[in-house]
Amino acid sequence: MKTTNKSSTIVFKVSDNIKEMMIRHYEDKKCEKAPPYAIFQVKDYDCVTTLYESGKVMFQGLGADIESSYWMEQERIKNNNTITISDKKEKKKEETKSFISVSSVGSDEVGTGDYFGPLVVTASYVAKDKFSFLTDLGVRDSKKLTDEKIISIGPTLIKKIPHTSIVLSNKEYNDFHRTDMNMNKIKAILHNKCLLSVIKKENLVGVKVVVDQFEPPKSYYAHLSQVPEKVNQITFMTKAEDQCLSVAVSSIISRYIFLKEMKKLNEKMGIVIPLGASSLVDEVGVTLVEKFGKDILYNIAKLNFKNTQKIEENKKARAS
């Protein structure tokens, strides 16, 4: 069944250095006129981006989730700042209780901010008797661990901790987007599948379930409206990796799998492919298209990212 990708509005505030990055990034795309108190406004075919003098930025349209996710990722990389999108209609405040000492099932994903490479989602079950083992191993949020550390402890976690991981290939991701399924809906479906799998395999009843929040709970459950079976009574937490060991484990396992998949891709393509969605990624993208043809991107990249357009533009510029 074909789904409908609804237009959305996402608003948050960026730091000064990201603000300057945005000004440079959109310099040649901004409209002649901008709303009052706005530095610029850009109207793409699927997203209107408006940056205000205060640092507040607003994304509106079908592509709001993708466009905003890139800048949220920049905030995380440059400033170690995790931006949370709040739903003003949500009256219930986010639970702040720490689950660091509670048996739980937790899920997290990797690859949403990377143009190249798959999307990896993992759910893990961590019982109390595993706490000391995980602490001794140095488990914490994967974003705070080096890739070398993740590669070192990843196999141990995969062997010792009950979990389910789903690797969504770029081809599968692009197939989904052809049906107008956006990034957050894809993530919600994959998180739900992983959580269900772990709960069933371990015969868990009444266990605490924690998801590293990537959208308001109301939106998450709306994405699962047509799913025949779903996990309910989830605690959605921002920076859940710091407060819940099962989410931290899932974060590390997902990152480990993602890095292994990227290594395979590097070997197959014969080039070191950078992570993220920077201008360096665009340059490598042009090289790959020149070597293998433009259709290669469908199998190794997330085509709805703005990088696809930039790669096409840069390739034309090289040829002229």
Q: What pLDDT does 90 receive? A: 41
For 160-185, the pLDDT digits (tens) are: 999 999 999 999 999 998 887 889 99
CATH 3.30.420.10 fits 104-264, yes or no: yes
141 — pLDDT class (breaks 50, 70, 90):
low
247 — pLDDT class (breaks 50, 70, 90):
very high
Q: What pLDDT does 80 receive? A: 81
Q: What is the DSSP secondary structure assignment for residue 116, as one 8-state letter?
A: B
d(CA 184, CA 285) in angstroms, rounded, equals: 25
For 48-95, the pLDDT digits (tens) are: 999 998 899 998 887 788 888 889 888 888 888 877 665 444 434 444
Q: Which CATH class is domain 8-79?
A: alpha beta
d(CA 206, CA 190) in angstroms, rounded, equals: 21
In terms of Cα–Cα distance, which of 255, 285, 244 is closest to 134? 244
Percentage of the chain beyond pLDDT 90 is: 62
d(CA 56, CA 313) in angstroms, rounded, equals: 29
Q: What pLDDT does 87 receive? A: 46
For 174-233, the pLDDT digits (tens) are: 999 888 788 999 999 999 999 999 999 999 999 999 999 988 999 999 999 999 999 999
For 94-117, the pLDDT digits (tens) are: 444 567 778 999 999 999 989 999
For the chain, give every domain's residue range.
8-79, 104-264, 277-319
Assess whether pLDDT exceeds 50 at residue 39.
Answer: yes
Query: How would DSSP label each residue in 260-312?
Result: HHHHHHHHHHTSPPPSSSSHHHHHHHHHHHHHH-GGGHHHHB-TTSTHHHHHH
CA triple 205-210-215, angle to 5 deg: 135
Q: What is the mean pLDDT of residues 33-59?
A: 88
Rounded to a whole number, what is the distance in angstroms from the first to the last CA of the chain?
43
Q: What pLDDT does 89 receive? A: 42
d(CA 56, CA 13) in angstroms, rounded, equals: 4
